[in-house]
Amino acid sequence: MKDKALDVSFRYGTLVVIAAVFVFFSITNPNFLSYDNIFDILRSISIVTFVAIGVTLSQIVDGFDLSVGSTVSITTVVAASLMVWYEQPLIVVLLVPLAIGIGIGLLNAFLIVKVRIPDLLATLTVMYIIAGVHKTYTKGFSVYNNMPMPDGTTAKGVVTESFKWLGQGKIIGLPVPVILMIIAVAAVHIFLTYTRWGRQLYITGGNREAARLSGIGVNRVRTAAYVLSGLFAAIGGILYAARIGSGQIDAGAPLLMEAVAAVFVGYSVLGAGKPNVIGTFFGAVLIGILLNGLTMLNVPYYSFDIIKGGVLLAALAVTFVHLNRRRQ
């Protein structure tokens, strides 16, 4: 009976918690259910979801990408600076940050696959390096319209409306980043579930030696996972800059913990017991609802990390208690 209850909680507990939290905030604050607030939640979790998808892909191959937060930070300030400092067209503003994200993914893969540094240590090192690079690039300042330059002049460029549309615009009443998020979640779910390449990611993460013996290019698959992780983090950075209309230093720092929490909460969605993009999405929804609801209740912002840490702890406890019971 106890095992059955644990299995039910593992399978449906996250969805029940999301529903309960949603109902609680709806009752305590009538503005929570407003159209604008619901879409504000979805718009905010779209960024976290893109970052969390990257972490999910690295987890699938039995790795862990801690550099995604710094990747968001550097792509955010680079995108803004290309417009504000250098007055570049939209295509350049989009392609350069994406190339940076891919480059960071390749650097992680090189350190992990070729140099054979453990993934946590390699991506932690890259996290600090990229954090330093993006602060050095901006000299510690955020990038915004009409900002003063080191030579005493004022920046001539501006964050364009066409760029801000990616983070603030709507299509048939739906925020653009929400549409992009739904497309990304659906596409990655199909890729992981129904394609040979997606199954190779899971096989590689489940048993690397068995995957190698079955003819899978293990190093190639692991490299692809980290490159995709960097790419999705870069997309998150672009959307972040487009949403706020500037490039904020350390913008991605809080997103790392939220993304990791979303991934681990996702382990228990519908009893998956493994990294999966649908679970990650629901994990991001839970984090987004919590942060939005606490803000509307005027809970001090400095206590938010306690809440996020508690959610992550609960998700880990439920997940690994269940997994350990299944192994016995």
pTM of the complete model = 0.93
- pLDDT bucket at 227, cuts 50 / 70 / 90: very high
Q: What's the one-letter identity of residue 149?
A: M
pLDDT of residue 160: 96
Which helix or strand (DSSP H or E) is residue 170 part of?
A: strand 170-171
Instruction: Report percent pLDDT > 70 for the chain.
Output: 91
Q: What is the pLDDT of residues 16-57, one digit of tens each?
A: 888 888 898 999 988 898 888 998 899 989 999 999 999 999
pLDDT of residue 14: 74
- Other Cβ atoms less than 10 A from the Cβ of 123: the count is 25
- pLDDT bucket at 300, cuts 50 / 70 / 90: confident
Query: Residues 198-221: what's their mean pLDDT?
Result: 93
CATH code, 123: 1.10.3470
Residue 315 has pLDDT above 80, yes or no: no
Cβ-count burial of 11 within 10 angstroms (0-12 exposed, 13-18 middle, 19+ buried)?
middle
Residue 270 has pLDDT above 80, yes or no: no
Which residue is listed with tokens 């709507």? 170
Residue 10 has pLDDT above 80, yes or no: no
**Domain extent at residue 173:** 2-327
Contact 57, 191 (CB under 8 A): no
Please indicate whether residue 9 or residue 143 has the higher confidence score (pLDDT): 143
Average pLDDT of every residue of the chain: 90
Query: Residues 109-132: what's their mean pLDDT?
Result: 96
Number of independent structural domains in the chain: 1
35-39, 189-193, 293-297, 301-305 — most confident range = 189-193
- pLDDT bucket at 325, cuts 50 / 70 / 90: low
Q: What is the pLDDT of residues 128-183, one digit of tens each?
A: 999 999 999 999 999 999 999 888 889 999 999 999 999 999 998 899 999 999 99
